[in-house]
């Protein structure tokens, strides 16, 4: 241990006190031993350090900071250097605001396009997500503060995220849902990891020994600190035994006492607690070092704004450009239509909300560009309400223009932490507007602002489509730069766009509505499914157009790398994202037709040629063998493919590998769907064969009393009439708030109330409600009204007395507030 001397001077109370927060954002301090508090803040779209009341859903404003494009946006740049630059800038702002730990990046997979937090994640591909995540981490940590990669792991839906059980086979877990985290740990060398809310195969992730110890600590060699998501602790001692050091936010000492009692009872050895304390101390002291020397406290906001602009420019994807309508000519008269042009949609909602230092809008940026804008009309209500008069005004303006710039997208309350989207469609009032404008003029350029994939049945009515995703505070100016040709678009999609939602592989198993969610599609998510099952898509993974063209040639494959040439065959400078895919020719083990195993972005002037080398690494040919329980290489011939997208392979080569001689992991006859890749309707028997055990029950047992890990939504069938009444009152409040147009307020209900487990009431209230009081609430919920009220009031008074006693003592250890609670 690094800090054995300090730990030897600590009391058991003091050790336990360090294991949970002092308040909502800070860790505990012990002044007599020189142990300072750390401050943790949300990110990484930008720093969200709150100056006033604390919350975890972005409901209160934070100190101004640069709002960068979201991870889903920057992923389209395919540029690790850019990711590192963003990370470095975030690190500088963290230091200026005296933040020790920046809570990001998020590297969860985009298993399903409706996940409400997809805007905060990079990709459907673990290799791309891992490489970009590691780049962010290196940049953040270069400034002396810590990154915290999240949410570890298999957290791919927002509905019931605090209690859902993710059922996934071991191979899929390793190859798809853990690889990005592995890269973040090994290559990014992240100093901290945030455990996710959900269960994984029956165990909460922060209590999962296989995940936390066998893989994270022993296999990957992670020696940093694991932090719970806010309110994400279930059994505090079980989490500590698994190596989850820091619980956030504070429980006002309640769980500290649980740790002390567990040590005294022998449930956990004090030496194990010491190891957890040592890792936390390392994070405190390492991130505190930057504040013990001179550092910037005032930053150049304009410089950081221009970095955000560069990030947005490189991430814009040109999806369609019929008859080269773009870039715009200076003589073009344009009509700007769409509410997002006036008030940009530039970031997601929830814990990543940033209070930007500067905020651009398209109208101002167009005026500065020299393009002749003949006028603006909003065209639609931002939140979906039909308004025929707005459409008529927009059409009247469009009649006078050469080109219509039509700004469309999803609103702020559709994509948000805590709830999933209901469908993949644009609001109907926006598509109605597009249809009406098409009757006036065919020269429509659609500019999209949304953080995730959408259906586009209307695309034939647009001559061009530019997707800016959520471009941050400088996104509007970046888009104008692309529209005018000052910047040649070079973004490529980091996720597949299916033709419709029904065609996605997880359509029948998303989201998990009750106990669990089953990942029946196994390794076949995103392009791995569409390419293998030969399913047509709207836009493939890795797709993106340019204002110039590129030619590929001269592929050479060696044992260590693939080399090839790329030439700019157009008349405009541009950048091309070249992509390495690998496919195994053997069919002895089911595998995707191709998988991304490398990429390189190259900038070329007209007629310039460059030679690109993409090295092979330890992930290029591996697969996880469930019989040997380790990574193996299959003896086979492998296709080496260089593409402009997963569906546009320009060059091919091959290589023969001897492999690791591992036994075959599967009985082919028991897994027919997986061997064809057609996994949209996997049977119970086949999924059981894949898992290697029976499928756990997925439905609530309504005959049992509700307990700590049941959700407030389950009050609908509670025995207590008070609970059922509360459930219907909550439902009515949600309906009523939406009805009167208060959608942001309405969303607070599913985000922070409806799907919260009862234990969350205690975990998220900082000691206002403790577990003994929660026992009283559960008695009321389960039909013992008077007994529950008595218990609740008794425990409330007891808590009040303990706080009064504590406030008169001299003790600096907050966990003395609580004794073990008694149950009736």
State the CB neighbour count (10 A cutoff) for residue 811.
10
> 229: closest CA among 181, 197, 191?
197
Relative orientation angle of helices 475-484 and 301-315, to the nearest 10 degrees: 50
> Which token pair is 96?
């200026």
Q: How far apart are the first and last CA of the chain?
A: 43
- Strands (E) in 224-304, as ranges, are 225-228
CA dist 443 → 398, 405, 463, 464, 547 (Å) = 10, 9, 6, 8, 18
Distance CA 676, CA 660 (A): 24
Distance CA 655, CA 649 (A): 17
> Which token pair is 53?
């009341």
229 is catalytic: yes
> Which token pair is 805?
């006693």
> 483: closest CA among 406, 588, 573, 399?
406
User: Residue 433 contacts by C-beta under 8 Å, 6 or more apart in sequence?
Assistant: 337, 338, 379, 380, 390, 391, 394, 406
Distance CA 188, CA 133 (A): 7
Q: Are strands 609-615 and 630-633 parallel, antiparallel or unpaired?
A: unpaired
Distance CA 756, CA 736 (A): 21
- Is-contact 250 233, C-beta < 8 A? no
Distance CA 551, CA 578 (A): 11
> Which token pair is 69?
């494009």
Among candidate residues 13, 125, 169, 229, the one labeled active-site is: 229
> 211: closest CA among 239, 236, 237?
239
CA dist 330 → 174, 369, 372, 507, 526 (Å) = 52, 9, 7, 46, 40
Q: Where are the alpha helices (DSSP H) in 570-720?
A: 672-676, 684-691
> Which token pair is 433?
């507007």
Could you write out the three-class secondary structure of 287-298?
A: HHHHHHCCCCCC
Place of tokens 């230091």: 95
- Is-contact 37 22, C-beta < 8 A? yes
Edge-to-edge order in the sheet of strand 203-204: 203-204, 199-200, 165-167, 516-518
> 555: closest CA among 649, 658, 657, 659?
649
Residues annotated as catalytic are 229
């Amino acid at each position: 241990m690094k800090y054995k001397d300090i730990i030897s001077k600590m009391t058991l109370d003091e050790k336990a006190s360090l294991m949970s927060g002092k308040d909502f954002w800070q860790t505990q301090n012990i002044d007599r031993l020189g142990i300072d508090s750390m401050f943790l803040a949300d990110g990484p779209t930008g720093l969200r350090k709150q100056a006033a009341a604390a919350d975890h859903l972005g409901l209160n404003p934070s100190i101004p900071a640069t709002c960068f494009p979201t991870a889903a946006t920057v992923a389209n740049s395919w540029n690790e250097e850019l990711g590192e630059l963003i990370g470095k800038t975030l690190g500088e702002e963290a230091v200026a605001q005296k933040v020790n730990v920046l809570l990001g990046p998020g590297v969860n997979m985009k298993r399903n396009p409706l996940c409400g937090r997809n805007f905060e994640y990079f990709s459907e591909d673990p290799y791309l997500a891992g490489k970009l995540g590691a780049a962010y981490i290196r940049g953040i940590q270069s400034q002396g503060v810590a990154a915290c990669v999240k949410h570890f792991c298999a957290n791919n839906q927002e509905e019931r995220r605090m209690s859902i059980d993710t059922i996934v086979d071991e191979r899929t877990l390793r190859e798809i849902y853990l690889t990005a985290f592995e890269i973040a740990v090994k290559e990014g060398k992240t100093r901290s990891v945030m455990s996710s809310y959900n269960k994984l195969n029956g165990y909460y992730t922060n209590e999962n020994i296989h995940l936390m110890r066998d893989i994270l600590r022993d296999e990957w060699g992670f020696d940093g600190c694991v932090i719970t998501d806010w309110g994400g602790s279930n059994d505090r001692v079980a989490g500590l035994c698994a190596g989850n050091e820091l619980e956030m936010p504070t429980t006002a000492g309640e769980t500290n006492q649980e740790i002390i009692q567990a040590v005294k009872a022998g449930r956990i050895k004090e030496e194990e607690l010491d190891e957890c304390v040592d890792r936390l101390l390392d994070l405190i002291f390492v991130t505190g070092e930057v504040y013990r020397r001179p550092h910037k406290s005032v930053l150049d906001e304009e410089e950081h704004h221009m970095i955000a602009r560069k990030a947005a420019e490189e991430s814009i994807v040109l999806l369609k450009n019929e008859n080269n309508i773009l870039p715009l000519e200076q003589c073009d008269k344009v009509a700007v239509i769409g509410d997002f042009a006036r008030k940009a949609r530039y970031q997601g909602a929830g814990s990543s909300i940033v209070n930007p230092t500067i905020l651009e809008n398209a109208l101002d940026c167009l005026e500065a560009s020299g393009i002749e804008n003949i006028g603006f009309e909003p065209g639609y209500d931002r939140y979906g309400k039909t308004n025929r008069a707005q459409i008529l005004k927009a059409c009247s303006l469009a009649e006078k223009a050469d080109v219509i710039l039509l700004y469309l997208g999803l609103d702020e309350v559709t994509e948000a932490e805590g709830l999933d989207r209901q469908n993949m469609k644009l609001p109907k009032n926006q598509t109605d507007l597009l249809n009406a404008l098409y009757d006036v003029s065919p020269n429509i350029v659609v500019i999209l602002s949304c953080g995730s994939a959408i259906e586009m049945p209307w695309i034939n009515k647009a001559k061009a489509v530019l997707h800016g995703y959520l471009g941050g505070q400088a996104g509007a100016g970046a888009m104008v730069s692309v529209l005018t040709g000052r910047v040649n678009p070079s973004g490529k999609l980091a996720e597949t766009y299916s033709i419709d939602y029904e065609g996605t592989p997880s359509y029948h198993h998303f989201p998990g509505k009750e106990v669990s969610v089953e990942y029946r599609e196994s390794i076949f998510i995103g392009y791995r499914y569409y390419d293998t099952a030969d399913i047509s898509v709207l836009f493939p993974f890795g797709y993106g157009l340019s204002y110039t063209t590129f030619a590929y040639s001269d592929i050479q494959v060696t044992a260590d790398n693939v080399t090839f040439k790329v030439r700019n065959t157009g008349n405009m400078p541009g950048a091309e994202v070249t992509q390495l895919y690998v496919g195994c020719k053997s069919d002895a083990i089911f595998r995707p037709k191709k998988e991304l195993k490398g990429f390189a972005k190259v900038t070329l002037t007209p007629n310039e040629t460059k030679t690109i080398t993409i090295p092979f690494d330890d992930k290029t040919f591996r697969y996880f063998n469930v019989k040997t329980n380790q990574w193996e290489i299959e003896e086979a011939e492998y296709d080496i493919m260089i593409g402009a997208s997963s569906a546009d392979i320009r060059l091919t080569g091959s290589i023969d590998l001897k492999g690791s001689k591992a036994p075959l992991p599967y009985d082919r006859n028991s897994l027919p769907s997986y061997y064809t890749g057609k996994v949209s309707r996997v049977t119970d028997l086949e999924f059981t064969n894949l898992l290697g055990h029976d499928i756990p029950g997925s439905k609530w047992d309504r005959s049992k009393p509700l307990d700590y890990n049941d959700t407030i939504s389950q009050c609908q069938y509670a025995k207590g009439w008070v609970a059922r009444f509360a459930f219907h009152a909550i439902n009515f409040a949600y309906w009523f708030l939406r009805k009167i147009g208060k959608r942001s307020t309405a969303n607070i209900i599913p985000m922070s109330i409806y799907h919260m487990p009862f234990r969350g009431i205690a975990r998220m209230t900082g000691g206002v409600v403790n577990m003994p009081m929660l026992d009283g609430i559960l008695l009321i919920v389960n039909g013992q009204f008077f007994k529950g009220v008595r218990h609740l009031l008794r425990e409330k008074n007891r808590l009040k007395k303990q706080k009064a006693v504590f406030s008169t003592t001299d003790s600096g250890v907050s966990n003395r507030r609580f004794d073990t609670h008694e149950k009736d």
